[in-house]
Structure 1
């Protein structure tokens, strides 16, 4: 086996990947429930968020160490199947079945089904719906497929024919949250990824994607947050976030947990009410977002600290659907919480 560079430029990604969340992200809570065979590599590796690696001289008791899910060579009839619980209920727009570094041991075909399971654990009578028909795969490559059908799903079932290895599986979609269950005065995090919030555009994400700011809990380490490269010129870094639902923000929390020598000097927050806007921003719209209505004037930040802003510190009491979070000049933020109530 030889390593192959499978890096793709962001501009080459299909449209269905844009403005989406990876519902199969292990970091967000997706997990493999079962597989017919995990002899060479466990199912859980296929859900890792970092790109697959190739370690040329690493072997274990069963053979070559591979970064992904890999079954043994099948000597009987049938094919291998894996069941995955998604990180959150959601709509599925497409997939990346990534066979990076699987060259002579990739599956020639795959097929994907989905199900909605209210109690999160599949039963023998679970009704599975095909969302990707049997499709061809090749060696050491990203394979992008649009999903078919409509629905809210909690689980997927990946079939590989007849056996082999998949380095990473990405499930591009949107989190589903039932906002009808939220009362008009109930405080909720409008920027929580499980509530449907997502990042749509950003200036830089060299060390960490802005979606990581919207994740659960506090950051577990410095790699669990949005962090940009060191800025060597003028300007500052920013990210545009679509809220889970239109809402009125009453409390802002900026957490710089684990960021000590690289936290931003200061931050600011702006908002816009764009209920009919698509998830794609043209360059002119991005430039115009600098003029969005201020919510939080520029505030100094500290290292490794939870900063909370509320009351008269917040300048906007009207509804917003999108926010522009700015950090000056660069650095890392672990979590951004935008508490309020739905509009």
Structure 2
């Protein structure tokens, strides 16, 4: 196998991303910088001479200087029932105004009412470095619906990233759904290249906002093609497929095809992932156009079998904004 075609395993889904359904539910104080910036998918930036009515503009969440006892906090509602493995508390560009320490708690409550949630420790109090990507492993957890970030005593956090797995709150399995969507438990398994953009955007809602809001590979200079592997939120029978090249005009793929497999009862999934080029062909090579939603239906498909994983091939390289697999879930 050429180096260009080697499978690179993706990180788990960032459950704190709005693309995964996360949102700020409550915050003790965000006087200097609004808390929802902390969940942005883009890397934090610093604009030297940008100020607003409250002072220096910062790309993240920042509370005012605390003059009383206690600490500041922010509560994030997640897009499903989650299990979280790792966290990044990113203090990039916060140098004289970062919190010296932070902790995390979680709740499994179904709805939020201030003061009524049952909180359990997710990350014991940890020392933070300023202008630094602080990474931590988390305590055992499951069915997480809310996360509380505590900062001691105050200060700024550029980004919060929570990596793990999402199970949707509720689904009507009697109806066709978007099997591949992040909000329905879909996830990126891996790819051979993802030089530009955000791969998780591929499975998120809406059309891409810019060319950076999708999956794009570098320019391929050797024979072959690029690919990405997706695990469906639940195995299913596929009824419709959409490949959206929104904003990709001089760099869309020339062609695309789809291969599939059902790994529901497979023990050695890694071996199957590494041999994904041998999966069954589901959609033969189709020409692509710039900035277009390409739609395919059952008449285009080469089989009607249950599918748990998808391999999207693009020829030879390029960018795809959104990839949607619709179908009937099979429990």
After TM superposition, is the score higher than 0.5? yes
The equivalences for 1:32-43 within 5 A come to 32-43=24-35
Q: Which of 277, 288, 298 is the aligned partner of 1:311?
A: 298
Is the alpha carbon distance of 1:320 and 1:31 closer, same or farther for their aligned partners in structure 2, counting shifts above 3 Å? same
CA distance in 1, matches of 2:183, 2:316: 29
CA distance in 2, matches of 1:180, 1:68: 33
Matched residue, 1:170: 161
CA distance in 2, matches of 1:277, 1:224: 33
Task: Give 3-state SS (helix, strand or coil) of 1:122's partner.
Answer: coil
CA distance in 2, matches of 1:60, 1:256: 37
Cα RMSD for the two superposed structures: 2.3
CA distance in 2, matches of 1:201, 1:279: 16
Is the alpha carbon distance of 1:106 and 1:179 closer, same or farther for their aligned partners in structure 2, counting shifts above 3 Å? closer
Q: Which of 129, 134, 137 is the aligned partner of 1:143?
A: 134
CA distance in 1, matches of 2:146, 2:315: 40
Q: For residue 323 of structure 1, report the CA deviation from its aligned partner.
A: 1.2
TM-score w.r.t. length of structure 1: 0.86
TM-score w.r.t. length of structure 2: 0.89
Is the alpha carbon distance of 1:49 and 1:180 closer, same or farther for their aligned partners in structure 2, counting shifts above 3 Å? closer
Q: For residue 28 of structure 1, report the CA deviation from its aligned partner.
A: 4.1
Matched residue, 1:82: 74
Q: Which of 299, 320, 324 is the aligned partner of 1:333?
A: 320
> What does the per-residue CA deviation read over 1:3-41, in whole Å, with 9 as the maximum and x for residues that have no partner?
xxxxxxxxxxxxxx9541111113444222332222222
Is the alpha carbon distance of 1:196 and 1:277 closer, same or farther for their aligned partners in structure 2, counting shifts above 3 Å? farther
The equivalences for 1:283-322 within 5 A come to 286-322=273-309
Matched residue, 2:237: 248
> What does the per-residue CA deviation read over 1:130-171, in whole Å, with 9 as the maximum and x for residues that have no partner?
211112211221222222233222221111011111111001
CA distance in 2, matches of 1:139, 1:280: 40
Task: Give 3-state SS (helix, strand or coil) of 2:37's partner.
Answer: helix
Matched residue, 1:209: 198
CA distance in 2, matches of 1:279, 1:228: 28
Is the alpha carbon distance of 1:204 and 1:122 closer, same or farther for their aligned partners in structure 2, counting shifts above 3 Å? farther
CA distance in 1, matches of 2:163, 2:269: 15
On the 8 A contact 1:30/1:87 being kept in 2, the answer is yes
Q: Which of 97, 109, 113 is the aligned partner of 2:89?
A: 97
Is the alpha carbon distance of 1:280 and 1:168 closer, same or farther for their aligned partners in structure 2, counting shifts above 3 Å? farther
CA distance in 2, matches of 1:187, 1:286: 26
The equivalences for 1:116-265 within 5 A come to 116-119=108-111, 121-177=112-168, 181-183=172-174, 186-265=175-254
Q: Which of 308, 311, 314 is the aligned partner of 1:324?
A: 311
Matched pairs, number: 322
On the 8 A contact 1:39/1:72 being kept in 2, the answer is yes
On the 8 A contact 1:40/1:64 being kept in 2, the answer is yes
2:39 maps to 1:47: yes
CA distance in 1, matches of 2:317, 2:169: 35
On the 8 A contact 2:244/2:320 being kept in 1, the answer is yes
Matched residue, 1:30: 22
> Which ranges of structure 2 fall in alignment gaps of 5 or more residues?
1-8
CA distance in 2, matches of 1:280, 1:70: 43
